[in-house]
Structure 1
Amino acid sequence: MQQNNGIDKSQMISFAVLCLVLFGFMFYFQNKQSKEEQLKAQQQKTEQVKNAVKQTQVSNINPNVTPGAIQTATLANKELNVEFSSLGGQVSKVQLSKYKAYNHKTDKADLPLYLIDKKNSNYGFQFKDKTGKVINTKDLVFSPVINGSIATLTANYNGAVIQFIYTLNNNPNAELKDQYALDFKVRTKGLAAVTADNKADFIWDYNVRNLEKGRAQEQSHSEFSYAFNNYKDYDYDGRTEMNEEKETLNWIGVKQQFFSSVIEAKNGFTQSKGSQETIEEGEYLKKLNFEGFVQMTGSELNQDFTWYFMPLDLPLLKSYDKNFDEILPLGWSFIGWMNRGFFMPMYNIIAGWGITAGWVIFLMTIIVKLILSPIMYKQHKLSAMMKVIRPEIDEVNVKLKDADPMKKQQATMEIYRKAGVNQMAGCLPALVQIPIFYALFRFFPNFIDLRGKGFWFAKDLTAYDDLIKLPFKVPFLGDHLSVFALACTIVILIYTVMTSGNMQQPQQEGMPNMKVLMYIFPITFLFFLNTSASGLSWYYFVSNAINILIILVIKYWILDEKKIHAQIQANKEKPKSEGKFQKRMREMMEKAQEQQKVQEQQRKKK
C-alpha cells in the first residue's frame, strides 16, 4: 500500500521558492503604498475650529420652525469639535479631530471623522403637560449662548424655562480622558406649573455611520452597550431588542468598531429598552433607538449627565473607572485576559522598537511559536511514531478485513497501547490553538493601534485587503480576493498535506473520510478570512509557514525514525498499565460488542 510520507527535499525547495515569490510580491506593493501615503500626507489640510455662534441653513425638520431660525454653536478642544443645534438644544455634530474616516471613493482614510453629523443622532426628554399633550424637548427651539468653554441653550414652553448646559474642557493640559467628555446639565424652572409628571422619558435615536472599510465587519461590531449595578456590571446587545426594565443603567452607549458615543446619567436610567435594525447599504450601518426614564423632583427636571465621544483605546477606557473598558470586545474570561495581558502588551513592547505594524505581527507570531514549541515537538514526535507503527496497523486491517469493525478498532488500539502511543496527545496542540485563534480573532479587528496601519498591499491591517477585485459578487466571498487570505490558504493546504499522511481512517461504515474533511477546511477558511482583518490572515500565513519549516527541521534534523522504532520496540517489552481513558474506551467497546451480540441473537430467533 502506498503511503503519504510527507514532503521530500524537492518539495521543500518548491515551498521555499513559493515563499520567496510571495515575499517579493509583498515588498513591491509595500513600496507602492509608501509613495501613496507620502502623497496623501501632502494633501491633508488642518481644519480651523471657531468658538462662535453661527447661522446655518437646514432642512425643514420641524414644520413649525423655519430653517433660517435654526442656529448652531460650537465648542472645541484638542480632541473634539462639538456643534449644538438650537432645534432641540442637541449635540448636532461631533468630530474626533485626530482621526480620519474611510473614503470609499478614494479607498483611503482621508475624510474627517464624525460620530454625529447630518442628523444621525436625535435625542430629547419627553413628558406630558397637564392637558395630556406630549412634549419633547427635541421639538423646542433653544437660544444658544457661548461663554468660554460653556454652551448654554435656553428654551421657553408656556412660561417654563428649560436650560441645557454643556461644558467641554478646553484646557490643553487637561487629562486625555477629560477631553473626550462633554458635561451635560438639565435645569428647569416653572416646569411644575406645566406638568404633573414625576419622571421624564429620555429618547435617543442614533444611526451608526459607516467609518471603516469593512462594512460587514464594522456592522457586526455596532451594538448597544451599557453598565448597571453602580457601574459594576456590564452588558451589550447586538441583536434586535434590549430590555432592562428592572435595572438602573448608569450609562448607555452605541458602540462602533473603534469608537463609541455614550451618555452617563448620574442618577441612572430606569425602565430602559431599545431596538436596533440593520441597514443593508448606504452611509449608515444600523439604526438604534433607546428609551429610559430619568427622575423629576417636584415635577422639575434637574439632572446631570455626561456625554462621552471616545476612541475605544483600552488605557483611555480604563482611566474613567466606569467599566468602559468592557465596551472593547476582546473576549470573555480567559480569552479577554490573553488579549489584555499578553497580546496587547507584547504588541506595544515590540512596536516601541520603531518597526512597522506588519513586522510587529511577524515577531509576535515567532514568539507565540517559541512558547508553543514543546507542545508542537510532542505532536510531531507522535506523528513520527504513528508512521513507524503504520505497517502493523495495515497488517491488522488486512488480517481482520472481514471482521467486525469494532473488533478491528480494538485490535488497533491494542497496537497503540503496546507501542506506548497516546492518540489523545495529538489533540493537545489543536485544543491549545482554539483559544489563541479566538483571542486573535477578537484582537485584530478591535485593536485601535492597528487602525489605519498598512503593510505591503494591505492599507489597513484591521480590514481586508482587496488588491484582486472581481467584476461580480461571489456568495460568501464578496467582490474581491484578499491576497493575504489566499496566501494563508495555500500554506494551510501545504501543512495539511504534510500532516495528513499518517492519519488513520475510520473503519466503521458511514464514517466520513477525515482526509477529505481536512482538505475542505482550508478552502472554507478562505471564505472566512477574505472579509476579515488582513492582520489576522498575515498572522496565520506566518504561523503556518513556520509550522511547515518546523516539520521539515524535525523530520530531517531532529527526529530519527530508527531511534523511534527502537523506542517503540522497548515500550512493547514493558508491562503496560492501562490509563483511565484507555480503560473507559475499552469498556465502552466491550459493552457495545455485547449489545451487538444480543441484537444478532434476537434477530436469529425471529
Structure 2
Amino acid sequence: MDRKSWIVVTLCVILMGVNWHYMQENQKLQQAEAARKKQEEVAKKAAQAAEAKATSPAASATTTAAPAAAELPEEKHSLKVGTVTFELSSKGGGISRAVLAGTDKVTLNVNGLEPIGALRREAAGLDTIAYKLTAKSDKSATFEGTSKEGILVTKTYTLTEGAEGDEHLVDLKVTLKNTGTTQHRSEEYYLYAGAASAIKHDDARYDGFFWNNAGDTDKHLSNYYAKGFFSDAPTEFKNSYSALRYTGVMTRFYTHILTRIAEKDASAKFWSSRRKLAQPIDTAHATRTDIEDYAYDAAMGLPVVDLAPGASVTESYQIYLGPKEYDRLARIGHQRSYAMFYGYFKIVSIALSKVMRWMHDISGSWGLAVILLTIFVRLCLWPIHAKSTMTMKRMGLLGPKMKELQEKYKDNPQQQQMEVMKLYKDYGVNPLGGCLPLFLQFPIFIGLYSVLEVAAELRGQSFWWVRDLAAADTQGQLLGFNINPLPLIMGLTMVAQMKLTPQPATVDKTQQRIFMFMPLFFLWISYDFAAALALYWSTQNIFSIFQTRVMKLYMPEPKLEKVAAKPAAKPAAANGNNPFFNPGGAPQKEKKKGGNKPPRLGG
C-alpha cells in the first residue's frame, strides 16, 4: 500500500478504538444509572417501613421510654453583628447558616449537609455527637457533647473584635478532653467548612475549593470533576499537607474560609467533594432535566490528637463567611487575600482594585468608579499612545517607498525584507512602536477583567439602565436573543476608533478586512460579559476617540525625513601604531625603502 492508504487505515483503526472506548463507557453509565435507581427504590422502601414502624404503638412506647442521645431536641441560637446573622444549631454544634443582608441578600451554607464547624471522625462522614447549648450570649455560644469514645467536645463560637475583626468573621475554639481510661490517638478529626453552591446556574464555573499550605495557596474549580478523555471523573479530593493554614469553598462572589490560628504550623489533611443537588438552583430550570447544579463540600483536618486519660487539647480557628473582597480579606490578615486568585497579573489586579475602590470613595457610585478608573488608566498611557500614533503616521508616509521596494524585489523576498529594514533605519521608524500600547494594555485588560468578574462589591449595584454591574445589562429580547446595550456600544465605538486610527503602510486590503471583523469578534466573545467590563471597554474606546481628535488638532503632523547618519568610526590603527603591539606606546620608525640588501660575507 502507498502512504495515503496507510494513513487511511491508521485513522480507521484509531476511530474504531475511540468508538469501542465510548461504547464501554456508555455501558458503564447505564449500569451505574440502573444501580442508582435500584438503590433509591430500596432506600424509599426502607424509609416507608421505618415510618410505619415509628408510627406503631410499640415503637412509640419504646421511644418514650428510652430516647436516644442523638434525638435530643434541637437548640438554636443566633449571633448578629452588622448586616450578618449567624444561625447556630446544637445538631452538629455549629453555624447552620449565615444570612447576609444589606446589598448582598444571600444565605450561605444553605445546601450544607450539617453546620459549619461540625466535628467529623471521617472526612465524608457526619458529626454524630449529641450537643447541648451550655452557654449563650449576644456575642458567643458554647456547645458540649461526648463522643462514643469518651471524648468530651467543647465548641465556643465568639464574634471577633479588634483591628482584625469583621462582621463576617467568627472565632471558634475546639477543646477535646479524654474522659476515658485509655490513651486516645487519632489523625482522623475533621472540621466541616460548609457547602458552597452558585447563586445562578450560569455562575457554576466559578465554584470550587482551595487550600493554603505554608503560604502557598491553590485551588480547583468545577472543571476538576469533569471527565477526562482517557480517565474517569474524580469523585473527591483528599490530600495531606505539612503546614495547612486554611481551607475553604467558594463561588463567584462568596467564600467560606476555615483558618487555623496558631503560633506554629502543623500537618493536617484536606478533603473536598461535589454533590448533585436535588433541585436546580434557578427556579426557571425547575422542570428541566438537562440542568444539573452542584454543591461543593470541604473539611479541614485537625492536627494529630494524642490524649492520655484526663488530658485535653484546644485548637483555635476562625470562620469567614462573606464576600470575596480583596480589601476586606487583606485587612483581616492570615493570608486570606491570597484566596482571590487573580491569576498571572495579580499585581496589576490588586493595584486596579485599590484604585477603583478609591474612585468609589470619591464618587459614591461603582459605575462612576469604573469610568474614572478607565480615564485614569488612559491618562497614564497617553504619552505612549501619542508616540505610537506618531510612529504609525510616519509608517503611513513610507507607504509609496514600501510599494516601490515590494515591486522591485517581488521575486526576492529576502532582499526585499533587508531593504525594508534599511528603509526603517534610514528614516528612524520603529515598526514595533505602534504595537507597544497594545502590549501594555493587554495585562491591564486581563488584570481588570479578573477584578470585575469576581468583584462582590459590584454585585447588585445599579448604574443608569444597568440593574447589576456584575451581570450582563440585558434589557429585553428580540427574536430570542438578549438585547445588551453596553456591548453594542462597545462594538460601535471600536469601529469608530479603528476608522480614526492610522494604519501601517504594510497593511493590505485583505488585512484591512480582517481588522474590520475584529469588532464583531470582540462583540461576540464579550456580549454576555459583566456590565462593568463592557462599561470599561466602551469608555476607553470613547476616550481613545477623544484622544485621537485632540492629538490631530494640537499636535503637528510628522514629516518624512532621513535620520542624520552618524560619523563612521576611525579604522583600527596598524599593529605598528597599536600600543598593544608597541609596549612603549610611541610609533615605530619607518624602515628605509630600498629593498633587501645582500648579506655581508666574511668577518
In the superposition, the TM-score normalised over structure 2's length comes to 0.69
Shift of 1:433: 0.7
Q: Which residue of 2 aligns with 1:202?
A: 190
Q: After superposition, what is the alpha-carbon deviation per residue over 1:94-132, rounded to whole angstroms, capped at 9, x for unaligned?
A: 11233433xxxxxxxxxxx2112253555643449xxxx
Q: Which residue of 1 aligns with 2:249?
A: 254
Q: Does 1:125 align with 2:119?
A: yes
Q: Does 1:553 align with 2:550?
A: yes
Question: Which secondary structure state, in structure 1, belongs to the residue aligned with residue 446 of structure 2?
Answer: helix
Shift of 1:288: 3.5
Q: Is the 8 A contact 1:89 1:164 kept in 2?
A: no
Q: Which residue of 2 aligns with 1:11?
A: none
- Bigger strand share: 1
Q: Which residue of 2 aligns with 1:235?
A: 218
Structure with bigger RCO (C-alpha 8 Å, 6+ apart): 1
Superposition map of 1:485-504 within 5 A: 485-499=487-501, 501-504=503-506
Q: Does 1:139 align with 2:128?
A: yes
Q: Which residue of 1 aligns with 2:268?
A: 270
Take 2:442 and 2:198, find their aligned partners in 1: how far apart are those partners? Answer: 31
Superposition map of 1:13-412 within 5 A: 69-101=73-105, 113-119=106-112, 124-127=118-121, 138-148=127-137, 149-158=139-148, 160=150, 162-169=152-159, 177-190=165-178, 192=180, 196-202=184-190, 204=192, 206-211=194-199, 215-216=201-202, 218-229=203-214, 232-238=215-221, 239-240=223-224, 244-266=239-261, 268=266, 270-276=268-274, 282=281, 286-290=295-299, 292-298=301-307, 302-332=314-344, 335-341=345-351, 343-401=352-410, 403-412=411-420
Q: Which residue of 2 aligns with 1:475?
A: none
Query: Which runs of at least 4 in structure 1 moved beyond 6 Å after TM superposition?
Result: 63-68, 277-280
Shift of 1:242: 5.3
* Structural RMSD (CA): 3.6
Q: After superposition, what is the alpha-carbon deviation per residue over 1:347-399, rounded to whole angstroms, capped at 9, x for unaligned?
A: 34433334533233222222222221111111111111111110111222233
Question: Which secondary structure state, in structure 2, belongs to the residue aligned with residue 460 of structure 1?
Answer: coil
Q: Is the 8 A contact 2:392 2:504 kept in 1?
A: yes
Q: After superposition, what is the alpha-carbon deviation per residue over 1:224-255, rounded to whole angstroms, capped at 9, x for unaligned?
A: 232232xx433333252755424221111223
Q: Is the 8 A contact 2:183 2:307 kept in 1?
A: no
Q: After superposition, what is the alpha-carbon deviation per residue over 1:45-86, rounded to whole angstroms, capped at 9, x for unaligned?
A: xxxxxxxxxxxxxxx9xx989989444332222243122233
In the superposition, the TM-score normalised over structure 1's length comes to 0.69
- Which amino acid in 1 is paired with 2:216? D
Q: Is the 8 A contact 1:95 1:116 kept in 2?
A: no
Shift of 1:164: 3.8
Q: After superposition, what is the alpha-carbon deviation per residue over 1:505-561, rounded to whole angstroms, capped at 9, x for unaligned?
A: 48xxxxx9543443333222223322222111111111112222322333354232x
Change over 3 Å in CA distance of 1:281–1:163 after alignment to 2: same
Change over 3 Å in CA distance of 1:157–1:195 after alignment to 2: farther
Question: Which secondary structure state, in structure 1, belongs to the residue aligned with residue 102 of structure 2?
Answer: strand
Q: Is the 8 A contact 2:120 2:192 kept in 1?
A: no
Question: Which secondary structure state, in structure 1, belongs to the residue aligned with residue 247 of structure 2?
Answer: strand
Q: After superposition, what is the alpha-carbon deviation per residue over 1:168-202, rounded to whole angstroms, capped at 9, x for unaligned?
A: 3388xx65725433222333444545884333331
Between the aligned residues of both structures, percent identity stands at: 18
Q: After superposition, what is the alpha-carbon deviation per residue over 1:284-320, rounded to whole angstroms, capped at 9, x for unaligned?
A: 5542444534321326664333222233333332232
Take 1:199 and 1:533, find their aligned partners in 2: how far apart are those partners? Answer: 45
Shift of 1:137: 5.6
Q: Is the 8 A contact 2:183 2:306 kept in 1?
A: no
Q: Is the 8 A contact 2:197 2:207 kept in 1?
A: no
- Which amino acid in 2 is paired with 1:308? Y
Change over 3 Å in CA distance of 1:467–1:194 after alignment to 2: farther
Change over 3 Å in CA distance of 1:227–1:489 after alignment to 2: same
Take 2:547 and 2:568, find their aligned partners in 1: how far apart are those partners? Answer: 33
Take 1:94 and 1:207, find their aligned partners in 2: how far apart are those partners? Answer: 12
Which protein has the larger Cα radius of gyration, Structure 1 or Structure 2? 2
Question: Which secondary structure state, in structure 2, belongs to the residue aligned with residue 423 of structure 1?
Answer: coil
Take 1:204 and 1:481, find their aligned partners in 2: how far apart are those partners? Answer: 43
- Which amino acid in 2 is paired with 1:394? K
Take 1:156 and 1:243, find their aligned partners in 2: how far apart are those partners? Answer: 27
Q: Does 1:484 align with 2:486?
A: yes
Shift of 1:423: 0.2
- Which amino acid in 1 is paired with 2:84? L
- Which amino acid in 1 is paired with 2:490? C
- Which ranges in structure 2 are unaligned for 5 or more consecutive residues? 1-50, 55-67, 225-235, 283-292, 570-603
Q: Does 1:532 align with 2:544?
A: no
Q: Which residue of 1 aligns with 2:518?
A: 521
Take 2:269 and 2:241, find their aligned partners in 1: how far apart are those partners? Answer: 6
Q: Which residue of 1 aligns with 2:40?
A: none
Q: Which residue of 2 aligns with 1:586?
A: none
- Which amino acid in 2 is paired with 1:187? T
Q: Does 1:541 align with 2:538?
A: yes
Q: Is the 8 A contact 2:74 2:91 kept in 1?
A: yes
Take 1:314 and 1:271, find their aligned partners in 2: how far apart are those partners? Answer: 27
Take 2:276 and 2:472, find their aligned partners in 1: how far apart are those partners? Answer: 21
Q: Is the 8 A contact 1:468 1:483 kept in 2?
A: no
Q: After superposition, what is the alpha-carbon deviation per residue over 1:563-592, rounded to whole angstroms, capped at 9, x for unaligned?
A: 513xx2x43x635999xxxxxxxxxxxxxx
Shift of 1:481: 3.9
- Which amino acid in 2 is paired with 1:117? V
Count of aligned positions: 473
Q: After superposition, what is the alpha-carbon deviation per residue over 1:251-296, rounded to whole angstroms, capped at 9, x for unaligned?
A: 1122333332111234655133434579895255542444534321
- Which amino acid in 1 is paired with 2:465? F
Question: Which secondary structure state, in structure 2, belongs to the residue aligned with residue 352 of structure 1?
Answer: helix
